[in-house]
Amino acid sequence: MSILIKNGRIVTAAEDYIADIYIEGEQIVAIGQNLSLKADQEIDATGKLVFPGGIDPHVHLDMPFMGTYSSDDYSTGTLAALHGGTTSVIDFILQTQGKSLRHALEEWQGRSKGNAYGDYSFHMAVTDFNENTKLEIREMVEEGITSFKTFMAYKGALMIDDGQMVDLMQEVKRQGGMVTVHATNGDMIDKLIAKHKSEGKLSPLYHYLSQPEVTEAEASGRFSDMAHYTNVPAYIVHMTCEGALNAVRRATMRNQQVFVETCIQYLILDASLYENDFEGAKWVMSPPLRQPKDQEALWAGLNQGLIQVVGTDHCPFKWEQKLMGKDDFSKIPNGHPAIEHRIELLYSEGVNKGKITLNKFVEVSSTNAAKLFGMYPKKGCIAIGSDADLVIFDPNKQHQLSVNTHHMNVDYSGYEGWEVTGKCETVLLRGQIAIDKGETKINKGYGQFVKRNKVNGII
């Protein structure tokens, strides 16, 4: 099977030019002007942008959490991602405390195998680092799982202490991996939750007020210090605020680079959404939405090169699941649905409103994640020999986001009625048209596990 994409405006992290792309099988075989190659199928991309398929390195599919499961599984989640121009995702395996990493890997392989539409990989969340787990780090790297997630919060379920953190960092450094972190001060947050509950303050607003900026800034600084001490490649997930960003900025003053991911919601939504009583549960996520001054800091951080990646932390729960916390904010399952909207919102709110360049958009939605997590140049670029993961994008198409049209398995939208300029029209994954004008063209099971390479923390 061969496809020729004619006359598109090709945009990568570094380039912007008009050319044709010739695809044979799963890969890009030729790029050039007026290619006179005969293909089984031709797509006219005149007036359209063509950029690398999005990579969302932060999603939670079918994940057991807070007494329930996130409502998108590998099938609905990766399909929704494809509709929104994201061709690869990296999901989190959660180790159960007291059990092995291998056991957790097998559970996630069971959930994902044969179910995905889009390509996927795994981070391994190490929630119990001990002599046994230590021996498994190397095995995981050999399996192509080269990033290890840690939690500085969710004590009793996911959190590790600082001693475990330093030990884990040293082992991951030895084996050629990256340590990533949910950087918030779990003890402070638990105290504030208990205090609010004892005062009868039980609405979603108190979820926000239990995780003030300082809890994230402090943990981000502490994590950076431990990463500096151990010299491990280090990455902070879902950064939301100015204080945390400044902790990373300070680390640069000793010539350290800590990589940073923010998520689309933190760039465009703010904490005023928690003021609408229980409605605010739609945006109960951790860390919570912040203030407009934090959004400004995050956009600036992208342009300053302090933030390399925009993900989603996609962790959807249906309204019925959110209602588990109707009388107690601490029981509202944390997470919000965004996997389908990241690319279009980042284009519309970022590029279209003049906050970031088109090249920066590609860099932070695809290329940097591929580089940081050992998938480049197979993924994250438009080059000869790379996987033909491509988005053909109509930059002028106006549309509205809504629960009535999205593909995520959740019965509300965090972005209901949001006006978006720009639409993913055709999405290719490994040389196959996966989505065309809203229609799905591939079958469940087409998505493959992406085995990732070792990383060294230089991009």
Q: Least CB distance from residue 341 to ligand DUC, whole Å?
A: 16
Instruction: Pick between residue 9 and residue 182 the one whose CB is nearest to Zn ion.
Output: 182
Q: 8 touches which of ligand DUC, Zn ion, none (CB within 5 to 8 A by kind)? A: none
Instruction: Pick between residue 239 and residue 302 the one whose CB is nearest to Zn ion.
Output: 239
Tell me whether strands 234-239 and 259-263 are parallel, antiparallel or unpaired.
parallel
Q: Does 336 bind Zn ion (CB under 5 A)?
A: no
Q: Least CB distance from residue 58 to Zn ion, whole Å?
A: 6
Q: Least CB distance from residue 158 to ligand DUC, whole Å?
A: 8
- Binding residue for ligand DUC, selected from 119, 213, 313, 344, defined by CB under 6 A: 313
Q: Would you say 216 and 243 are in contact if contact means Cβ atoms under 8 Å apart?
A: yes
- Binding residue for ligand DUC, selected from 76, 87, 150, 286, defined by CB under 6 A: 286
Q: Least CB distance from residue 22 to ligand DUC, whole Å?
A: 41
Q: Would you say 28 and 35 are in contact if contact means Cβ atoms under 8 Å apart?
A: no
How many CA atoms within 13 Å lie on the side-chain side of 400? 6
Q: Which residues contact 443 (CB under 8 A, 6 or more apart)?
A: 117
Count CB atoms within 10 A of the CB of residue 69. 17
Q: Least CB distance from residue 168 to ligand DUC, whole Å?
A: 18
CA neighbor of 227 nearest in space, from 215, 219, 238, 217: 219
- Please give the full DSSP string across 344-387, using - where no structure is assigned: HHIIIIIITTTSS-HHHHHIIIIIHHHHHTT-TTTSSS--TTSB
Instruction: Pick between residue 85 and residue 287 the one whose CB is nearest to ligand DUC.
Output: 287
Q: Least CB distance from residue 380 to ligand DUC, whole Å?
A: 25
Phi, psi of 50, deg, nearest 5: -125, 115
Instruction: Pick between residue 91 and residue 171 the one whose CB is nearest to ligand DUC.
Output: 91
Q: Would you say 42 and 22 are in contact if contact means Cβ atoms under 8 Å apart?
A: no
Strand partners, 421: 398
Q: Which residues of 295-322 are buried (b: 16+ CB within 10 A; e: fewer)?
A: bebbbebbeeebbbbbbbbbbbbbeebb
Q: 285 touches which of ligand DUC, Zn ion, none (CB within 5 to 8 A by kind)? A: ligand DUC
- Binding residue for Zn ion, selected from 313, 340, 389, 425, defined by CB under 5 A: 313
Q: Is 164 left (phi over 0), alpha (psi -120 to 50) or beta?
A: alpha
Q: Least CB distance from residue 459 to ligand DUC, whole Å?
A: 24
Q: Least CB distance from residue 334 to Zn ion, whole Å?
A: 8
Q: 335 touches which of ligand DUC, Zn ion, none (CB within 5 to 8 A by kind)? A: ligand DUC
- Please give the full DSSP string across 126-164, using - where no structure is assigned: -SS-SHHHHHHHHHHHHTT--EEEEESSSTTTTB--HHH
Instruction: Pick between residue 180 and residue 348 the one whose CB is nearest to ligand DUC.
Output: 180
Q: Does 182 bind ligand DUC (CB under 6 A)?
A: yes
| 272 token code pair | 């005023």
Count CB atoms within 10 A of the CB of residue 416. 13
- Binding residue for ligand DUC, selected from 127, 146, 334, 365, defined by CB under 6 A: 334
Q: Least CB distance from residue 61 to ligand DUC, whole Å?
A: 11
Q: How far apart are CA 25 and CA 3, in angstroms?
A: 9
Q: How far apart are CA 121 and CA 453, in angstroms?
A: 11
Q: 72 touches which of Zn ion, ligand DUC, none (CB within 5 to 8 A by kind)? A: none
Q: Does 189 bind ligand DUC (CB under 6 A)?
A: no
Q: Does 60 bind ligand DUC (CB under 6 A)?
A: yes
In three-state secondary structure terms, 171 is helix
Q: Does 315 bind ligand DUC (CB under 6 A)?
A: yes
Q: Which residues of 160-174 are buried (b: 16+ CB within 10 A; e: fewer)?
A: beeebbebbbbbbbe
Instruction: Pick between residue 66 and residue 168 the one whose CB is nearest to ligand DUC.
Output: 66
Q: 334 touches which of ligand DUC, Zn ion, none (CB within 5 to 8 A by kind)? A: ligand DUC
Q: Least CB distance from residue 357 to ligand DUC, whole Å?
A: 30
Q: Does 423 bind ligand DUC (CB under 6 A)?
A: no
Q: Does 271 bind ligand DUC (CB under 6 A)?
A: no
Q: Least CB distance from residue 436 to Zn ion, whole Å?
A: 31
Binding mask 171-210 for Zn ion (x = CB under 5 A): -----------x----------------------------
- The footprint of ligand DUC on residues 363-422 (CB under 6 A) is none
How many CA atoms within 13 Å lie on the side-chain side of 436? 7
- Residue of minimal CB distance from Zn ion? 182
CA neighbor of 315 nearest in space, from 55, 69, 86: 69
Interface contacts to Zn ion, rule CB under 5 A:
182, 313
Residues of this chain that interact with ligand DUC (CB under 6 A) are: 60, 182, 285-286, 313, 315, 334-335
